[in-house]
């Protein structure tokens, strides 16, 4: 009988003794994904260890938003995290309750916290339960209360005592290494998180390991920090009660947005971002009194929206997507109308007062319209070709989570491998998880798209079908896969294909990279085989270490292509042990200059660079 088969005896034995009630901490430890999303080791920005940090920070930010404390101190050393705020401090007789009792927190008193996210709710309890060492101390009006826990179990409960410390709360925790295996906090992810908090809370100082993060201009600073291209006109910055909006346009393709609710970065958007996109387009269209397409108005837009909502409803505990339709639980004004009314008044006024900006914006819209109409015929034919093609047969081997998922609800769990060649495609297809992993097969090297217009996306069959497979023609909000993984050989040709694909995304879908959806699959370069076990090595350093572990006369295999790795072996490399390098895009990356150098027509300059930096790889004995 198969392992998952349910027998009649199992059904007959269903009785009261099969009903179990889990203790709060046991439930969190058994089902951590319900509370913090993915686990991970810190390699990716959405890994659980950053959610733990965020849950503690949210409570500190809530204090600042309520007008208490202008400074937060964050320290991370050897995997141990500490956060000290200077707010009011948790009421001393409730310190243990807020970190260890479900349905306990400040959010139930809307007078204390009206438009907050943390509120010492479920999140802080999850941090406690998922930490091998959790220490909390509340300083309040000359007294303090401290307690210590291990995996949610209290280990030290000290009495209230006098203190000279300023009011506030100090939390220190060590994530459980049996749950977050071999975890490591990466500065780039922590710093991005902290910067966003300061952008959303002008005047707040956050110190991270002694380094200060501070923002004077709020969301305007956020846009400046994240833009990798020059704006066509000065950033429009609009602020009102419970709402802040910034926007500009650039010559890049697509749309780029950052959205927030009560200081929470909603990376998956939600009702507020949908309203922002719609009403920005509608307001601009009405201002010019032209029958512009919304897509032409938004092409090249870079914007951010932040709103404050009473008791926001998120679609998950990790709060990455807003589901609220009303501004308040008693059925107040809708999010859509609130944002729409604000933009209709403030953005329209701004454009009337700043003629130079409105003229530049008009030219940008007209240029986008002209390009769209020029390729309209090509676009129509390309769409028809994509529908009639073998996209869902040979080019794309989809994963099952999408078969009955028309709303994109399963996207977070899915990924797509972009491969080149039948052998590599075949190996991954045979060894992948068919539930969540899709495969798209390229035919040969793709076109170098640097300097080309959007027309090439539709004229080139490979890119047209890839765009259709990813479902990103209209917006990356429709992206069908959370992870787009480039899987090429670790040789010169494979590196070239990798570069061509990254160039394609940078040229036409930069937000795909900025939002952290594009990754490089790392595959082993060597297999060191001893009498007892196999060692798979991803670098020369790992090979040398494996040689020592293997002992005398190990068998060494040098993998030069994905097709050389058997499907059975590949299961390890694209399963739980998958190694992915995220492709990132930052302001100081000088993308334009890099692409011009590596992908432009400066053949002689690039040739001289290669000659001067040539390294000859020695054969492995």
Give me the pLDDT at residue 432, please: 87
Look at residue 12 and tell me if it is in a domain.
no
One domain for residues 59 and 179: yes
One domain for residues 237 and 161: no
Look at residue 530 and tell me if it is in a domain.
yes
pLDDT digits (tens, 9 = 90+) for 63-104: 888 889 899 999 999 999 999 999 999 999 888 888 887 654
Let me know: does 509 contact 472? Beta carbons within 8 Å: yes
| Tally of structural domains, the chain | 4
What is the side-by-side strand order in the sheet with 483-487?
Answer: 396-397, 437-442, 415-420, 483-487, 518-522, 579-582
Look at residue 360 and tell me if it is in a domain.
yes
Q: What letter does residue 613 receive in the DSSP assignment?
A: T
Q: What letter does residue 254 receive in the DSSP assignment?
A: S
Better pLDDT: 3 or 588? 588
User: What's the pTM value of the predicted model, to 2 decimals?
Assistant: 0.76
Let me know: does 42 contact 185? Beta carbons within 8 Å: yes
pLDDT digits (tens, 9 = 90+) for 505-539: 988 888 888 888 999 988 888 888 888 888 888 88
pLDDT digits (tens, 9 = 90+) for 2-32: 344 445 555 555 555 554 556 667 878 888 8
281 CB-side CA count, 13 A: 17
Q: How many beta carbons lie within 10 A of that of residue 357, not counting itself?
A: 18
Residue 50 belongs to what H/E stretch?
A: helix 48-65
Rounded average pLDDT over 405-409: 51
CATH number at residue 284: 3.30.230.10
Backbone φ, ψ for residue 374 (5° rounding)? -65, -30
CATH number at residue 135: 3.30.565.10
Task: From 399, 393, 289, 265, select the one nearest 348 (Cα to Cα).
Answer: 289
Give me the pLDDT at residue 610, please: 56
Rounded average pLDDT over 383-406: 66
Rounded average pLDDT over 229-245: 93
Q: Which two tokens stand for residue 519?
A: 């990754």
One domain for residues 61 and 98: yes
Look at residue 620 and tell me if it is in a domain.
no
Let me know: does 579 contact 538? Beta carbons within 8 Å: yes
Give me the pLDDT at residue 587, please: 64
Q: Which two tokens stand for residue 296?
A: 């032409």
One domain for residues 192 and 284: no
Final residue of a domain: which of 329, 345, 374? 374
pLDDT digits (tens, 9 = 90+) for 351-381: 999 999 999 999 999 999 998 888 877 777 7
Q: Partners of 520 in the beta sheet?
A: 486, 581
> Looking at the predicted structure, is the pLDDT value of residue 105 above 60?
no
Confidence of residue 595 (pLDDT cuts 50, 70, 90): low
- Under the phi-then-psi rule, with left for phi > 0, alpha for psi from -120 to 50, and beta for the rest, what region is 229? beta
Q: Which two tokens stand for residue 612?
A: 């001067």
Q: How many beta carbons lie within 10 A of that of residue 593, not counting itself?
A: 10
- Residue 547's domain spans which residues? 526-558
Distance between CA 452 and CA 457 in Å, rounded?
9
One domain for residues 389 and 470: yes
Look at residue 6 and tell me if it is in a domain.
no
Give me the pLDDT at residue 323, please: 64
Look at residue 392 and tell me if it is in a domain.
yes
CATH number at residue 385: 3.40.50.670
Let me know: does 118 contact 62? Beta carbons within 8 Å: yes
Distance between CA 333 and CA 307 in Å, rounded?
13
Let me know: does 475 contact 418? Beta carbons within 8 Å: no
Look at residue 617 and tell me if it is in a domain.
no
Q: How many beta carbons lie within 10 A of that of residue 186, not counting itself?
A: 17
Q: Which two tokens stand for residue 239?
A: 């602020």
Let me know: does 151 contact 10? Beta carbons within 8 Å: no
Final residue of a domain: which of 374, 401, 427? 374
Distance between CA 431 and CA 575 in Å, rounded?
9
**Dihedral angle sign, alpha carbons of residues 284, 289, 294, 299:** negative
Q: What letter does residue 588 receive in the DSSP assignment?
A: G
One domain for residues 104 and 232: no
Better pLDDT: 156 or 449? 156
One domain for residues 397 and 370: no
One domain for residues 428 and 367: no
One domain for residues 185 and 90: yes
Displacement of CA 217 from its chain's centroid (Å):
24
pLDDT digits (tens, 9 = 90+) for 180-191: 888 999 998 999
Give me the pLDDT at residue 456, please: 83
One domain for residues 577 and 471: yes
């Amino acid at each position: 009988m198969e392992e998952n088969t349910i027998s009649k005896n199992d059904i007959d034995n269903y009785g009261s003794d099969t009903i179990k009630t889990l203790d709060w901490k046991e439930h969190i430890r058994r089902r951590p994904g319900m509370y913090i999303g993915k686990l991970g080791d810190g390699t990716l920005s959405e890994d659980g260890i950053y959610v733990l940090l965020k849950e503690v920070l949210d409570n500190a930010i809530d204090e600042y938003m309520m007008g208490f404390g202008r400074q937060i101190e964050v320290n991370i050393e050897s995997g141990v995290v500490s956060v000290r705020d200077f707010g009011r401090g948790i009421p001393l007789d409730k310190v243990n309750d807020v970190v260890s009792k479900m349905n306990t927190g400040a959010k139930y008193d809307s007078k204390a916290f009206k438009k907050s996210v943390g509120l010492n709710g479920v999140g802080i309890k999850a941090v406690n339960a998922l930490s091998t060492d959790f220490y909390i101390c509340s300083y309040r009006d000359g007294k303090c209360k401290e307690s210590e826990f291990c995996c949610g179990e209290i280990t030290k409960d000290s009495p209230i005592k006098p203190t000279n410390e300023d009011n506030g709360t100090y939390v220190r925790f060590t994530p459980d290494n049996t749950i977050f295996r071999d975890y490591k906090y990466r500065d780039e992810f922590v710093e991005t998180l902290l910067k966003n908090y300061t952008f959303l809370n002008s005047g707040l100082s956050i110190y991270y390991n002694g380094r200060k993060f501070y923002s004077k201009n709020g969301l305007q600073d956020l846009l400046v920090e994240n833009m990798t291209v020059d704006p066509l006109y000065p950033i429009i910055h609009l602020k009102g009660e419970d709402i802040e909006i910034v926007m500009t346009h650039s010559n890049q393709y697509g749309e780029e947005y950052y959205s927030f609710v009560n200081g929470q970065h909603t990376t998956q958007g939600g009702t507020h971002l949908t309203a922002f996109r719609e009403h920005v387009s509608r307001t601009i269209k009405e201002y010019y009194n032209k029958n512009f397409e919304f897509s032409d108005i938004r092409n090249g837009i870079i914007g951010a929206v932040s709103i404050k909502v009473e008791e926001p409803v998120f679609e998950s505990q990790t709060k990455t997507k807003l589901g609220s339709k009303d501004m308040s639980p008693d059925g107040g004004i809708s999010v859509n109308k609130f944002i729409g009314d604000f933009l209709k008044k403030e953005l329209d006024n701004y454009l009337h007062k700043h003629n130079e900006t409105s003229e530049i914006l008009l030219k940008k819209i007209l240029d986008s319209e002209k390009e769209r109409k020029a390729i309209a015929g090509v676009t129509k034919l390309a769409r028809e070709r994509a529908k009639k093609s073998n996209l869902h047969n040979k080019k794309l081997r989809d994963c099952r989570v999408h078969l009955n998922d028309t709303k994109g609800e399963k996207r977070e769990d899915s990924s797509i491998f972009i491969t080149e060649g039948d052998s590599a495609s075949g190996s991954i297809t045979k060894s992948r998880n068919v539930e969540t992993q899709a495969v798209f097969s390229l035919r040969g090297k793709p076109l170098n798209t640097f300097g080309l217009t959007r027309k090439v996306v539709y004229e080139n069959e490979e890119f047209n079908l890839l765009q259709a497979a990813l479902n990103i023609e209209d917006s990356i909000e429709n992206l069908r896969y959370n992870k787009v993984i480039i899987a090429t050989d670790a040789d010169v040709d494979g590196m070239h294909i990798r570069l061509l694909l990254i160039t394609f995304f940078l040229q036409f879908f930069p937000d795909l990279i900025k939002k952290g959806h594009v990754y490089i699959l790392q595959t082993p370069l060597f297999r060191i085989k001893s009498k007892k076990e196999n060692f798979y090595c991803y670098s020369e350093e790992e090979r040398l270490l494996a040689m020592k572990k293997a002992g005398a006369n190990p068998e060494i295999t040098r993998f030069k292509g994905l097709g050389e790795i058997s499907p059975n072996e590949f299961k390890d490399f694209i399963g739980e042990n998958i190694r992915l390098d995220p492709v990132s895009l930052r302001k100081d990356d000088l993308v334009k200059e890099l692409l011009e150098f590596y992908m432009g027509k400066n053949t002689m300059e690039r040739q001289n660079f290669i000659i001067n930096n040539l390294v000859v790889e020695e054969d492995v004995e």
